[in-house]
Amino acid sequence: MKFLSNLLLLPLMLASGCTVADDPFLTASTGKPKYGQASAHEIPQAMALASIPALAAKVASTRETEKDDALVQRVLYRNGSDIAGENALTLETGKPGNIRFRHGPTVAQLARELRAAFPDVVMQPLPANRANAYGPYGLAMGRSSGGSRCVFAWQLIPANAQDPKPHILRLRYCDPQMNETVLSSLMDGLILRQSAAAVSYSYAPPVNGYASAQSSPMIQAPMNQAAINQAQVAAQDADAAPEQLKPKLAIKHRVIAAAKPATPPAKQVATGPIIPLPD
């Protein structure tokens, strides 16, 4: 009888010695909670606050993590390349006045992020900064030994009159068929939305001359439609399965129908050295 009881306890004893390892890329790209603990959970794609129209048909899932100082959303894309890791658009939305959202990454921080996201690919930051409807962003490109091309983009969007909450964005994307021109233009079509239900912080309205928290649900400025169309066509050509074209067209229609032109943030392109580049 004693032997039988010990046998029944054996699975519990073995389970108590097990550990759960962190996803190395998820930890490297979003960071562990600065204060307390947080866990990621899946949300409907309709609740995503950031999107890239050219990659709409490649979305696999969307994760959300609420930290003490920020709300983190990661839109995950299918990875058909020979490079391990998650293709993802990561958006961190901070509270107004958050010091961490006042500066872009340093050269050392950027180098660490690139090594964590692409351990087997040499990534070269482009010498010239790019810009989309929300301001300047940095870009790095690379190619694997198997021929897949990768892009890494980083952007800091300070609080402004339209949106009192600052944002930090990262795009990590690898593809075996997209060319450099298409990959480098993905961030040009970035769309941000603000959802009071998704960003439910309890804070007083900002006082530094910015608008109150009741801002437009769509934070979208005029975009380079030609660049977006080019990226969408190239993304469709890169998909081998014809059945993927229908949801792509449907999603494109939904985005265009929901989009309403709004005044872009005032002259954010000339914000100074927010995005450093390695020497």
pLDDT at 219: 35
The H-or-E segment that residue 191 falls in is: strand 191-193
Integer Cα distance of 92 and 73 in angstroms = 7
Render the burial of 173-194: b for 16+ CB within 10 Å, e for the rest.
bbbebbeeebbbbbbbbbbbbb
pLDDT at 163: 85
pLDDT at 126: 92
The pair phi, psi for residue 187, each rounded to 5°, is -70, -15
How much is the pTM? 0.59
- Residue pair 175/82 in contact (Cβ under 8 Å)? The answer is no
Q: How far is CA 255 from the centre of its chain?
A: 18
- Residue pair 54/132 in contact (Cβ under 8 Å)? The answer is no
214-219-222-223 Cα dihedral, nearest 10 degrees: 180
Half-sphere exposure of 275 (CA within 13 A, CB side): 26
> Which pLDDT tens digits describe the chain residue by residue (279 residues)?
444 445 444 444 444 443 333 443 333 333 444 434 567 899 999 999 999 999 999 999 999 999 888 999 999 999 999 998 999 999 999 988 888 898 889 999 999 999 999 999 999 999 887 999 999 999 999 999 899 999 999 999 998 888 889 999 999 999 999 999 999 999 999 999 864 333 333 323 333 322 222 332 333 333 444 444 555 545 555 454 444 333 333 334 344 344 444 445 554 544 444 555 554
pLDDT at 152: 98
> Within 10 Å of residue 52's Cβ, how many Cβ atoms?
24
pLDDT at 125: 93
- Residue pair 198/219 in contact (Cβ under 8 Å)? The answer is no
Distances (CA, A) of 165 to 52, 131, 145, 207, 242: 20, 20, 40, 12, 40
